[in-house]
Structure formats: C-alpha cells, structure tokens
C-alpha cells in the first residue's frame, strides 16, 4: 500500500469516524465504536472501497495511531466533532503540557484561554516537538506552555487518549505561559 493511498484512507476514516458518520450511513455507538465489517460495507457502498488489509495497515502504521481496534470494532481515538463519550478515565497530568498554535490566534487566547473550538476538548501535547508539529499545520508554530500541575490542583480534569493526546475541557489564561 503506497503512502498516498495510506494517507487518503486515513483521512477518509477520520472524516467518517470523527465528523460525518451519517454521510456513509454509519452509526457510531455512544463511545464512538462501529463494527469494522459494517464500516467496510459502508465505504464500498459509497464509492470508496477499502479492503480489510488496507484498514489493518492504516490502523497499524498511522503516524499518530489515530484509530483503535478492539475485537471486531474500530473507533477514532480522539478528535471527534460528533457527540461521543470516549469514557476515558481522569488522570493526573505531568507538571507541564504544551499547545502548538499560530500568532493570529494569540490575542483571543490571551483573553479567553484555550477553548475546544469545534472539538470536544482542548488538545495538549506532552512534549514541545509534538506541539510544534500541531501548530505547524496552520503556519509558523507558536508553543504555549500549560501549567497542568496547577490546573490539576485547581480541580481541572485531564484525560489521555489511547494515542497519547492530553485532553481537557478548557485552559483559562492564567494557566498559560506565552513565549
């Protein structure tokens, strides 16, 4: 399976497992899972056939491990805009987490902190390299440090997704350090 096809299949799966399952007649359960057989039939019926071998390859090789397979089911590990409850336990975060963004958002972020925007949570990274990659999707990355330890002590809840993305509802400005 070549890299271009791998990326196309990954994007197609992200779109339908995170954002628009109804577009291919898919129903996700409350935790975001769907049967792999049903998914493969739905993709074929909507003009984008994916084989089981291709799906397995994408799940295993994906740079961010975006998808989780459990038994006969698959789900996106994070990043949803559709209503799902990933049912992740609350965990104590490390002292600092990082968020990669771009300069044009900084005024708003200084004023109102980090908000989840279209997603369910604010996404934070455990290291600066990952945050830099996230920010670079939008331009020259600006890395904010999040005083996650202080947030935790103040009662903010953190989760970690199956692929290591830190999630929290919002980050008020007082917990952010700007470069």
Stretch that binds ligand HQG, among 1-9, 19-27, 84-92, 118-126 (CB under 6 A): 118-126
For the segment 41-70, give every residue that binds ligand HQG (CB under 6 A).
64, 66
* Residue 24 vs 143, nearer CB to ligand HQG: 143
* Residue 50 vs 165, nearer CB to ligand HQG: 165
Nearest Cα to 74, choosing from 44, 32, 112? 32
15 binds ligand HQG (CB under 6 A): no
112 binds ligand HQG (CB under 6 A): yes
Distance CA 148, CA 135 (A): 19
Least distance from C-beta 117 to ligand HQG, angstroms?
4
Cβ neighbours of 115 (radius 10 Å): 12
Distance CA 109, CA 170 (A): 11
Distance CA 5, CA 54 (A): 9
Q: Show the DSSP H helices in 2-144 as ranges.
A: 3-14, 36-45, 52-61, 106-112, 128-136
Least distance from C-beta 112 to ligand HQG, angstroms?
4
Site of interaction with ligand HQG (CB under 6 A): 64, 66, 79, 101, 105, 108-109, 112, 114-115, 117-119, 123, 134, 138, 165
């Amino acid at each position: 399976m070549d890299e271009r096809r791998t990326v196309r299949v990954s994007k197609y799966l992200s779109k339908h497992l995170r954002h628009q399952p109804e577009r291919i007649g898919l129903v996700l359960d409350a935790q975001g899972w769907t049967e792999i057989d049903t998914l493969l039939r739905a993709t074929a019926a909507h003009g984008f056939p994916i084989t089981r071998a291709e799906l397995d390859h994408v799940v295993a090789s994906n740079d961010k491990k975006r998808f989780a397979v459990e038994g006969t089911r698959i789900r996106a590990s994070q990043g949803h805009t559709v209503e799902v409850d990933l049912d992740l336990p609350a965990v104590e975060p490390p002292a600092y987490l990082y968020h990669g963004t771009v300069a044009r958002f900084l005024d708003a972020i200084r004023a109102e902190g980090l908000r989840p925007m279209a997603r369910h949570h604010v996404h934070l990274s455990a290291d600066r390299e990952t945050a830099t990659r996230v920010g670079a999707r939008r331009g020259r990355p600006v890395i904010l440090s999040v005083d996650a330890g202080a947030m935790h002590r103040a009662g903010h809840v953190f989760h970690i997704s199956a692929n290591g993305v830190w999630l929290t509802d919002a980050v008020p400005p007082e917990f952010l350090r700007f470069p």
